[in-house]
Amino acid sequence: MPRKAKSKPLLGLDVGSSAVKLVEVRRAKQGLEASAADLRALSPDVVVDGAIVDNLALASSVAQMLKDSRVHNRSVATAVSGNSVIVKQISMPAMTEEELAETIEAEAAQHIPFERSDVHMDYQILDIKDSGAMDILLVAVKKDKVGNYTNALSMAGLSAVVMDHDPLALENCYEYNYEPAPDEIAALLNVGASVTNIVVTKGAVPLFTRDVSVGGNQYTDALQKEFHLSADAAEAVKLGRANGDGVDESRRLPVLQSVTKLIVLEVQKTFDFFRASTNGQRIARMYLSGGAAQTTGLKDTLQEEFGEVVDFLDPFRRIAYPDNGPLAEAIRRERPRLAVAVGLALRSFDDL
Ligand SMILES: Nc1ncnc2c1ncn2[C@@H]1O[C@H](COP(=O)(O)OP(=O)(O)OP(=O)(O)O)[C@@H](O)[C@H]1O
Ligand SMILES: [Mg+2]
- 117: Cβ contacts below 8 Å, ≥ 6 apart: none
- 325: Cβ contacts below 8 Å, ≥ 6 apart: none
Give residue limits of the domains in the chain. 1-82+143-179+318-352, 180-313
Which of 14, 15, 18 best tests ligand 1's pocket when mutated (most atoms within 8 Å of CB)? 18
User: Which of 192, 194, 187 is CA-nearest to residue 208?
Assistant: 187
* pLDDT of 5: 45
Q: What is the mean pLDDT of residues 308-323?
A: 96
* pLDDT of 126: 83
Give, using CA atoms, the residue closest to atom 19 of ligand 1.
192
pTM, 2 dp: 0.92
CATH class of 180-313: alpha beta
Q: Do domains 1-82+143-179+318-352 and 180-313 have the same CATH topology?
A: yes
344 C-alpha to ligand 2 centroid (Å): 12
44 C-alpha to ligand 2 centroid (Å): 13
pLDDT confidence bin for 1, thresholds 50/70/90: very low
* pLDDT of 3: 45
pLDDT confidence bin for 6, thresholds 50/70/90: very low
Q: What is the mean pLDDT of residues 155-162?
A: 93
CA 281 to chain centre: 24
Q: What is the mean pLDDT of residues 158-176?
A: 94
Q: Are strands 32-41 and 319-320 parallel, antiparallel or unpaired?
A: parallel
Give the separation between CA 73 and CA 46, rounded to whole angstroms.
Answer: 24
Q: Which ligand is closest to the CA of 337, given by its number?
A: 1
What sign does the CA torsion over 261, 263, 266, 268 have? negative
Q: What is the mean pLDDT of residues 291-318?
A: 96
* pLDDT of 122: 87
CATH superfamily of 1-82+143-179+318-352: ATPase, nucleotide binding domain (3.30.420.40)
- pLDDT tens string 22-57: 999 999 999 999 999 999 999 999 998 888 999 999
93 C-alpha to ligand 2 centroid (Å): 36
Residue 147 pLDDT exceeds 80: yes
Chain mean pLDDT for the chain: 91
Ligand 1 neighbours, Cβ below 6 Å, are: 16-19, 192-195, 215-217, 235, 238-239, 290-292, 294-295, 337
Rounded percentage of the chain residues whose pLDDT exceeds 70: 97
Query: Looking at ligand 1, which atom is closest to the CA of residue 290?
Result: 18
Residue 139 pLDDT exceeds 90: no
